[in-house]
């Protein structure tokens, strides 16, 4: 099939000019894109107002989508559950027995902890979550990992607040609109989270790899003590995340750390919890945390 020849419109001056103007407009558009990108690189927060408005307008669509997502997921899961149900049943029974023993032990530890804390006079800073909401959108084609949650300034959400599910950390709030907020997911390459190994507190920090996994780097350089299956939780340093939120599980080792899988896949969770910032900086307004450097 030959292409239609609509580029040579004969002798019509008007049509020729129209085509010429089209090219000029296209090239100007591309140049405008270059300028806008430079602006966006210089200041990550630029155009945030546009994105806020856009997200606000589309949030109801996303909320409806959430219901469909969790609905369809449970449907397929239910079918999958029929396979090897017996094995699963036995495994679960074993797990429950172990968990019961552990629960008793934990209760004893918690009681002891409470007693020791009252001895020390430490105030428990467990505060209620700011908001419980839904993930209404997530960037799906871009290598940057952002999500939009259905709560914003009206619900008390503020920039830097950590977002988590019952299973683990999801990310932190980056931009806030009236009823939506943009979340920088843990898996984004820009998000650096200070972590420690749950078992013994070996300190590390994570960087997103943008493919659903994290790169863990140990702070103490030396022999790599990590093993597959190690669970990392937030360490609380940096002051954004409360200590002890589960984040990732080691999948494979690298010379200076590990590659880890995140524990709370945002796709699997219908609701997310927005927490308060663990410890406010003395004066956050003076240095409005640029999205890049403020992570740890």
Partner 1 sequence: MAIVRKPRGLGGRQPLVKLRNPRKALDERLRSRINRAPSPLISRAIPWLSVLFLSLTPFAPIIASAPVMPPFAFMALLAWRMLRPGMLPVWAGAPLGAFDDLYSGQPFGSAILLWSAAMLVMDIVDVRLRWRGFLQDWALAAALIAGYLALAAILANLTGGATPLRALLPQFALSLVLHPLITRAIAGLDRLRLIPVSRVTR
Applying the rule CB under 8 A, the residues between 130 and 149 that interact with partner 1 are 135-148
The residues, any chain, with a CB within 8 Å of residue 172's CB and separated by 6 or more, are 160, 161, 162, 163, 183, 184, 191, 240, 241, 295
Asked if 246 touches partner 1 (CB under 8 A), the answer is: no
Asked if 14 touches partner 1 (CB under 8 A), the answer is: no
Nearer to partner 1, 37 or 116 (CB): 37
Q: Which of the ranges 96-104, 122-130, 207-215, 281-289 carries the binding residues for partner 1, by CB under 8 A?
A: 207-215
Residues 154-193, interacting with partner 1 (CB under 8 A)? 185, 187-190
Which of residues 219, 236, 265, 276 is near partner 1 by CB under 8 A?
A: 265
CA distance 277 to 274: 9
Residues 66-125, interacting with partner 1 (CB under 8 A)? 66-69, 72
Tokens of 47: 């155009």
Residues 58-77, interacting with partner 1 (CB under 8 A)? 58, 61-62, 65-69, 72
Instruction: Name the β-bridge partners of 138.
Output: 147
Q: Which of the ranges 30-38, 102-110, 121-129, 280-288 carries the binding residues for partner 1, by CB under 8 A?
A: 30-38
Asked if 212 touches partner 1 (CB under 8 A), the answer is: yes
Asked if 260 touches partner 1 (CB under 8 A), the answer is: no
Which of residues 11, 12, 13, 41 is near partner 1 by CB under 8 A?
A: 41
Least spacing, CB of residue 16 vs partner 1, in Å:
14
Least spacing, CB of residue 236 vs partner 1, in Å:
24
Residue listed under structure tokens 């449970």: 74
Residue listed under structure tokens 């950590």: 162
Distances (CA, A) of 30 to 17, 50, 191: 20, 20, 30
Least spacing, CB of residue 61 vs partner 1, in Å:
5
Nearer to partner 1, 139 or 237 (CB): 139
**If DSSP codes are grouped into helix, strand and coil, which group holds residue 116?**
helix
Secondary element (H or E) of residue 213: strand 213-218
- DSSP of 22-91, one letter per residue? HHHHHHHHHHHHHHHHHHHHH-TTTTHHHHHHHHHHHHHHHHHHHHHHHHHHHHHHHHHHTTTHHHHHHH
**If DSSP codes are grouped into helix, strand and coil, which group holds residue 24?**
helix
- Helix, strand, coil distribution of the chain in percent, nearest 5: 35, 25, 40
Q: How many chain residues are in contact with partner 1, going by CB under 8 A?
A: 71
Which of residues 11, 13, 14, 50 is near partner 1 by CB under 8 A?
A: 50
Q: Which of the ranges 18-26, 96-104, 195-203, 280-288 carries the binding residues for partner 1, by CB under 8 A?
A: 18-26
């Amino acid at each position: 099939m030959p292409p239609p020849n609509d580029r040579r419109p004969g002798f019509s001056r008007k049509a020729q000019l129209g085509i010429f103007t089209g090219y000029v407009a296209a090239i100007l558009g591309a140049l405008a894109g270059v300028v806008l990108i430079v602006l966006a690189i210089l200041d990550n927060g630029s155009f945030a107002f546009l994105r806020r408005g856009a997200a606000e307008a589309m949030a109801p669509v996303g909320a409806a989508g959430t219901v469909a997502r969790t609905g369809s997921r449970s449907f397929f899961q239910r079918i999958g559950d029929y396979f090897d149900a017996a094995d699963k049943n036995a495994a679960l029974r074993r797990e429950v027995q172990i968990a019961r023993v552990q629960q008793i032990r934990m209760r004893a530890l918690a009681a002891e902890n409470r007693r020791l804390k009252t001895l020390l006079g430490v105030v428990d800073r467990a505060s209620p979550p700011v908001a419980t909401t839904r993930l209404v959108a997530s960037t799906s084609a871009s290598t940057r990992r952002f999500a939009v949650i259905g709560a914003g300034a009206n619900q008390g959400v503020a920039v830097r607040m950590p977002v988590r599910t019952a299973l683990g950390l999801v990310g932190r709030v980056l931009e806030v609109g009236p009823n939506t907020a943009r979340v920088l997911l843990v898996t984004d390459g820009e998000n650096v989270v200070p972590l420690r190994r749950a078992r013994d507190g070996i300190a590390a920090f994570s960087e997103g790899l943008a493919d659903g996994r994290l790169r863990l780097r140990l702070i103490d350089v030396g022999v790599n003590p990590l093993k597959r299956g190690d669970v990392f939780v937030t360490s609380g340093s940096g002051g954004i995340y409360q200590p002890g939120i589960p984040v990732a599980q080691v999948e494979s080792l690298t010379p200076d750390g590990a590659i880890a899988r995140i524990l709370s896949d945002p796709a699997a969770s219908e609701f997310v919890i927005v927490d308060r910032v663990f410890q406010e900086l003395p004066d956050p307004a003076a240095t409005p945390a640029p999205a890049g450097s403020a992570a740890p």
